[in-house]
Structure 1
Amino acid sequence: MKPTTRGTLAAVLTGVAAAVGAAAATPAAAVGTVPVPVPLQGVEKSLGMELPEVGGELPLLMPGAPEGPRYVEGRLLPERAVPQLPVSGGLPGLGLRAPVPHVLGDDFDHVALGTPASDLHTLAPGLTLDAPLTPPNPEAFGLPDLKLPQAGLLAPVLQTVPGAELGAGGGL
């Protein structure tokens, strides 16, 4: 086999392996919550009665990249000395489905309560500072003037839209 053919074949195999690896990694990275079932089947059999079905969802926190400092004309230090760190995740979800004995027959009705996991976006607190000096003043031979130092706190941010569902119906 010629060296150019071997090189081309190696490049094609490397590309295929990278594509297969990326396709396999995508579903794991796309998961935003982890289901948490609560097994109650053993208790149901030992007590001889229907128990509620309980399950939940735990969110995965994903830190983001902070915005870099912004330089503003007339200031010696950047606007955000300590940038705010964004974190995306979710509020945990819960599902509960409980049997309720039917008054007129032997069948069970059910009551269900569900709170799906909802998106949560946050920004950590940040800090902005400015030095007690002005930029060089050409009228004072390039020396800076004095001014009051400035300090500010960037407030944390929390954004979410929680929800809940309540339902009742026949059957389990």
Structure 2
Amino acid sequence: MINQELINYLHSAYPELLIDINYIKGYSVDEIKKIERLYDIKVKGQLYDFLLCMGRCSGGFFGDDPLMFYRQNNGVRSHILFQYSFCEDLCSLQQWELVKQKPFIFSFESETQYFFLLTDSDNVDLVYHYDENQEMIKSTNKTFYEYLRHSVSTDTRHYIKNMAFDYSGELIIV
């Protein structure tokens, strides 16, 4: 389902970026329910709208770095194991309360920087940052959409050149 408001919001960060809305593809409502079961998360708020609109293909907004949604080299099994490993890391830091709130990593930067949502919390749209080097977790004070817009403004603008419109990934189909 095309979410023109989200597309316009992301595009406003980098108006000269060429995108093709014909390639934008999300998950169905039933598929999102499968994602919830498979990853043991709650999909609500901005994450829900994003997955529904462009969870599979962004039409040129994003590549596979830093967002994990579009990592073509990672299969579903890799995504699940990565999420599981992150929860184990949180447990080793005695962050059980965060684990109870069903974290979902959506971005992994510089091999040690994790960005995630607490999908069963009072504020499901708030992005958190875990710095593996310092073993520190903090709120970014950004919503999921603000993080995505920032990514378009920085990562897409400065690092991704001549990206294909059909760059896509998969969270549920094995």
Normalising TM by the smaller chain, what interval?
under 0.3
Structure number with greater CO (CA < 8 Å, separation at least 6) is 2
- TM-score normalised to structure 1 length: 0.20
* Structure (1/2) with the larger strand percentage: 1
Instruction: Look at both structures and tell me which one has the larger radius of gyration over its CA atoms.
Output: 1
Q: TM-score, normalised by structure 2?
A: 0.20
Higher share in helix: 2
